[in-house]
Amino acid sequence: MTVLAATLLASLSTAGSGAAAPAHPSRLQRDADALRDDGVTGVSVRLETPRGTRTVSSGVGDLRTGEPVAADGYVRIGSTTKTFVATVVLQLVGEGRLSLDDTVDTWLPGLVRGHGNDGRRVTVRQLLQHTSGLPDYIGDVVPDLSAAGYRENRWNTYTSRQRVALAMRHPPSFAPGAGWEYSNTNYVLLGMVVKAVTDRSWEHEVQARILRPLRLTRTLTPGNRPFLPRPHARNYQQFEPGGALTDTTVAYLPFDADADGSMISTAADVDRFFTALLRGRILAPAQLAEMQRTVEVPAGRGFPRGTRDGLGLDWTPLSCGGGYWGHSGDGFGYLVWPATTADGRAAVTVSLHSRPGEESSATRQIQDVTALVDRALCSARRSSDVHDDGRPR
């Protein structure tokens, strides 16, 4: 870490967001401060319940200037993009234009081939639920996991077809339907399926079917445009344990520019999307039920204990009973963690603006995030009588 960053982080241990700390900070504020104390440069939290909306922040949004984290600033949402894409796919299923049992080859003939991969055996449902066994292309577009590698390769662009071709260099993790393994390739393919079905890009369909109807005016599908709109906090990645923090606010286009993780939004828009989704405003009941039909996520995959994976939507248990739905997203220097109760009455989104180089630190920060979300949603249920009977099937 640079001397400047170390000095700023030390000063943050006694200050919340640049403003005077309240004499008796709320539980939500204390939980945000705990993330700051665990090394996150900037933290923002938005909690929406029947009693109103609360926002807190901690740390700084810019290590160079010390500016506070922007209130409801723009953030990269990474793999949270997958829930938007899955929603479009399920709408097409509801319209009878696509079936969850269709194979990849039905819509993209011959594309998924090589090293044991076979699109004639992989279904749309398996793509949505990461049970396809298809290899992840991500390792192929990060040839140098370092600050220098980020700077050298961040402008490189790939087509969806090129990303899939990179993945096809590797054998599948397992036969289709025989296991579970997170693979970004699945959603690159789903973006291509949407185009094959509608003759329009997945971005167009997300905008027309979700963003405009819900008036999510601050949610963007930027493609290969690498810059965040203002206001935004800056993102920082530590590429090696004990190393310097690198400003990674500019997108890493090799994996920040497709249907698996390219979108930009705000916490308010993300909460509004998941709230509408869980309240049945976007999908018909049959398609929402399919989305919430889950499989177990194996232990040791970086997800909280008890997480189950639906179709572009994850279920995580709460300590007070029931659980929440959401889909986190991350990339170089950022993490977004949205969580919404099954009835859509309470929602919280946590945004982190730095990521550590040590696995133990990253794990601890995720534990901090999940503890914050658990306390926030359980507290909302107690204070507002928010009932969550949405258990996975």
Catalytic (active-site) positions: 79
Handedness of CA 278, 186, 335, 180 (dihedral sign): positive
Strands 75-76 and 264-265: antiparallel
**Residue 86, CA distances (Å) to 74, 95, 391 in order:** 22, 14, 20
Residues 6+ apart with CB under 8 A from 257: 157, 158, 222, 223, 224, 251
Single-letter residue type at 255: F
Ramachandran assignment for 300, one of left (phi > 0), alpha (psi -120 to 50 degrees), beta (any other): left
- Burial (CB count within 10 angstroms: exposed 0-12, middle 13-18, buried 19+), residue 296: exposed
Distance, CA of 66 to CA of 242 (rounded, Å): 22
Nearest to 266, CA basis, from 63, 104, 32, 55: 55
In the numeric block, the tokens 């090589």 are attached to 114
Give DSSP secondary structure letters for 153-180.
HTT----HHHHHHHHTTS--SSSTTS--
SS3 at position 43: strand
**Residue 64, CA distances (Å) to 5, 6, 15, 247, 312 in order:** 8, 11, 16, 10, 37
Cβ atoms within 10 Å, residue 380: 24
